[in-house]
Amino acid sequence: MDTGLGPAAQSELFETNPPPWELAVEDDVTLASIVFSRSPHGPYDYRIPDSLREELKPGMRVGVPLGHRKKPTPGWCVAVKEGKAVHRKLRDVAECLDESPLCDASLVRLVMWMSHYYQVPAGQVFDTLIPSSVRTAAGTKQTTYFTPAKGLSDAELEKLPAKQQVVMRFLISQNRPMSSAELAVAAKCTADPIKRLKKKNLIVPEVRREMHSGIRILAQTNDGETERTHHLTEQQTAALGRITAAVDSGRGRTLLLHGVTGSGKTEVYIRAIEHVVAQAGSAIVMVPEISLTPQTRGRFESRFESVAVLHSQMSPSERHFHWQRIRRGEVQVVIGPRSAVFAPLPNLGLIVLDEEHDTSFKQDTQPRYHARKVAHARAMSLGIPLLLGSATPSMEAWHATQSGHAELISMPDRVAGRPMPDVQLVDLRVRDERGGGGAISRPLKLAVDETLREKGQAILLLNRRGFATTIQCPACGHVVACPDCDMPLTHHRDGGKAMCHYCDYTIGTPPWCPACRFDGIRYGGLGTQKLEVEAKAKFPHAKIARMDGDTMKRPGSHQRVLSEFRSGEIDILLGTQMIAKGLDFPNVLLVGVINADSALHFPDFRAAERTFQLVTQVAGRTGRGDRGGRVIVQTFTPEHPAIQAASRHDYFKFVEEEMVNRRKFNYPPLGSVARIIIRGPVEEKTEAVADSILARLESARDLLNSEVRILGPAPPPIVRLRGKYRFHLLLQATEAAVVGETIRRALADFKTDPKEEIEFLVDIDPVNLL
């Protein structure tokens, strides 16, 4: 048994010195391999007692003895196998906690793959896969049902007290199990006679778990758009043909649908899913949570009988309710954010990942999985297609089409012969262009005026929320920063708060400098709140709405703003990247990008890619009607290749140039990267741990004779977060497996001193390098 623990630890877990007869008697036994979400994680083997042999299957939760704990410890069964018990002392599985497996065999395989690839204990992956609402059976209650005991004679019945007789006779006549409440009503009695019958063993109880009947499933409204079926364009027809052929091939393969904004990708997804559903199959559609708008929902709900929309604002009972429906095979299409990749559909025939380039598909807490990677693993193991879609495919997806790992399907034109919008760059270095102060340049001001005159709508993108992004004293230079993260606080006008955008630390904005008491502290930098104030002053007759993380906290507010925008009540919608994604409003004649450089100067090898994607995506929100559309992009670096390419809608030029940059350093997609973050309360001790991890990585690399580049340890751009000092190490190699194996070797039995509170975490394929 590979316990992953040293011999000393193992003897604490398992009693030593088993009595001799236990060794001798057992020969061939059935074993269950069990993993745990808390340490020790296993897997450990247990003997399955005869009483559970029929019942216990992989994917079920069990209770097993572990160490010296009195009560059985809950764990997950990952395998059932025949084995020999000679020479080892095995303990018995104590109980099965589920009636049927929560994961079918293919999902158990997925868990084991994720555990290996992302280097996370399998028990923790199970906890991610199976929502806690399902594990705790949220929204259900236990009810006891009674049936009459067998072999009860008439004579015995006669002897019972009158009330008990009525109950017994009724129960016998009904010939089905009945709850105590039901019986009491029917027999017009209290609970007492029923209790007495139970005590005498004349009625047999059976406990069942059921959904509350009163469970409230939020009405799934849409925002007024009516979806019709369209005659497919030629490009859509060709794309659909390739996808249905892949579905019919019964093989696992990846397809990349590269379709420009407004090329009608959603219609293609819907038709492809109709094809799957016609063969009694089902599909998963993942979209970034932000684009899970009423419109997206409505498009699917009007075309399929049973759609389950999963989102983060569901109550636990709702989530559990949907999960059960999905598992019973009652759902044709599951739509949701990245966690929808785990939806337990029994006849899964297609997985769609829309906006596959979006960073929200990577989870930033353990297990740090990427939905694209997991979807790929799941699709391949089931032999079904994975369909990726984007107007701005990630470098990873693009590279896959070039290296033969994915098939490229192109839709280079918008539907209905609509042209791509005109993009005009405004060089903010030029004084005349900037206009008289403020964030809205002269050309943008003129364009908005014109749009409003034509009764069109405008979208303004600024990727910073809050009012001012720095609060600085002009006298002493002091910047008001978060005490836990060392990052500048952002001033929010509503309520006069200064907030840390990394940890939510909040104070009242100081009226004078906290360092030198100078009273004339300045707000610098620009956030959406300040832009809103400026826009209201510059366009006094327009109705303006702001959409960002601050305004969208209340459930339903996102939906309300969008439907007001659709109905034309709102003229200008301004906000962060949440307005850049997926919206399809025909009357948007103008998109303004306030500062295209905001993402460009991040210390991240994907900075150019993010910038290209953001500008292209938001530009794609216009020109979706018959009146065309235009885009104004304000920038300090109009010559930057990413901005140039975005302004010409030239994805190919962008990837070509960007691939050269990536190749220089073997960055993904040409190589593989992993990141190890070490954090702790004391800087020197944290760094010391980082250094010892480096030493272990180096010796693992030498041992494996692998070509892995190790960078660091170094302080990451965010040096301190929530009061913890941070260091990181980056590993790079051409093969993901080599990086993974080096880390696995290096950290296999690495433990930190719990007293020092230093944690380390492994992030495979990181998308965030801050």
Residues in the site for ligand ADP, rule: CB under 6 A? 230-233, 236, 259, 261-267, 415-416, 584
Place of tokens 């009061």: 723
Q: Is 103 annotated as a binding residue?
A: no
**Residue 488, amino acid:** P
Query: Residue 101 or 298: which CB sits closer to ligand ADP?
Result: 298
Q: How many CB atoms lie within 10 A of CB 254?
A: 22
What is the token pair recorded at 314?
Answer: 């569901």
Q: Which residue number, 356 or 584, has a Cβ lying nearer to ligand ADP?
A: 584
Name which of Zn ion, ligand ADP, none residue 502 binds, using a CB cut-off of 5 to 8 Å depending on partner kind: Zn ion
Angstrom distance (rounded) from CA 331 to CA 382:
18
The values of phi and psi at residue 537, to 5°, are -70, -40
In angstroms, what is the minimal distance from the CB of 6 to ligand ADP?
Answer: 55
| Closer residue to ligand ADP (CB): 583 or 697 | 583
Q: How far is CA 550 from the centre of its chain?
A: 21
Q: How far is the CB of 224 from ligand ADP (least distance, A)?
A: 13
With respect to ligand ADP, which residue has the nearer C-beta, 65 or 262? 262
189 is in an annotated binding site: no
Residues forming the site for Zn ion (CB under 5 A): 482, 484-485, 500, 502-503, 505
Residue 180's binding partner out of Zn ion, ligand ADP, none, with CB under 5 to 8 Å set by partner kind:
none
Q: Which does 262 bind (CB under 5 to 8 A by kind): Zn ion, ligand ADP, none?
A: ligand ADP
- DSSP per-residue letters across 496-517: TEEE-TTT--EEEPPSS-TTT-
Is cis: bond before 713, omega within 30 of 0?
Answer: yes
Cα angle 732-736-742, degrees, rounded to a multiple of 5: 70
Residue with Cβ nearer ligand ADP (573 or 708): 573
Nearest distance in Å: CB 718, Zn ion: 9
Q: How far is the CB of 530 from Zn ion (least distance, A)?
A: 21
CB of 584 to ligand ADP, least distance (A): 4
Q: Please indicate if the annotation marks 96 as binding a ligand.
A: no
**In one letter, which amino acid is 338?**
R
CB 437 → ligand ADP: shortest distance, Å?
A: 36
Residue 223 or residue 584: which is nearer to ligand ADP going by CB?
584
What is the smallest separation between the CB atom of 490 and Zn ion, expressed in angstroms?
Answer: 11
How many Cβ atoms sit within 10 Å of the Cβ of residue 689?
A: 22
**Shortest Cβ 620–ligand ADP spacing (Å):** 6
Q: Which is nearer to ligand ADP, 194 or 283 (CB)?
A: 283
Residues in the chain: 770
The listed partner (ligand ADP, Zn ion, none) that binds 505, CB under 5 to 8 Å by sort, is: Zn ion
Q: 709 Cβ partners below 8 Å, 6+ apart?
A: 666, 731, 732, 733
The annotation status of 77 as a binding-site residue, yes or no, is no
Token digits of residue 110: 């997925």
Upstream peptide bond of 669 is cis (omega within 30 degrees of 0): yes
Write down the least CB distance from residue 484 to Zn ion, Å: 4
C-alpha–C-alpha distance, residues 571 and 54, integer Å: 65
Q: Which is nearer to ligand ADP, 107 or 352 (CB)?
A: 352
Report, in Å, the least distance between residue 245 CB and ligand ADP.
Answer: 20
Angle at CA 681, nearest 5°, toward 677 and 686?
50
Determine the Cα–Cα distance for residues 522 and 468; give it in Å rounded to an integer: 9
Between 305 and 504, name the residue whose CB sits nearer to Zn ion.
504
Kindly state the helix (H) or strand (E) to which residue 537 belongs, with its residue range.
Answer: helix 528-538
**Residue closer to ligand ADP (CB basis): 236 or 472:** 236
Rounded Cα–Cα distance for residues 543 and 218 (Å):
30
Which of ligand ADP, Zn ion, none binds 265 (CB below 5-8 Å, type-dependent)?
A: ligand ADP
What is the spatial distance between Cα 527 and Cα 382, in angstroms, rounded to a whole number?
46
Q: In sequence order, what DSSP letters do the residues of 569-628 get, joined into one string?
A: S-SEEEESGGGTSS---TTEEEEEES-TTTTTTSSSTTHHHHHHHHHHHHHTTSS-STT-
- Joined tokens for residue 514: 């906290």
Question: Which of 624, 620, 488 is CA-nearest to residue 566?
Answer: 624
584 binds, among ligand ADP, Zn ion, none (CB under 5 to 8 A by kind): ligand ADP
Instruction: Go through 175-202 and write b for each residue having 16 or more CB atoms within 10 A of its CB, e for each that does not.
Output: eebbebebbbeebebeeebbebbeeeeb
Q: How far is the CB of 290 from ligand ADP (least distance, A)?
A: 14
Closer CB to Zn ion, 125 or 500, in the complex? 500
* Residue 729 parent element (H or E): strand 724-733
Residues making up the annotated binding site for Zn(2+) are: 473, 476, 482, 485, 500, 503, 513, 516
Residues making up the annotated binding site are: 473, 476, 482, 485, 500, 503, 513, 516
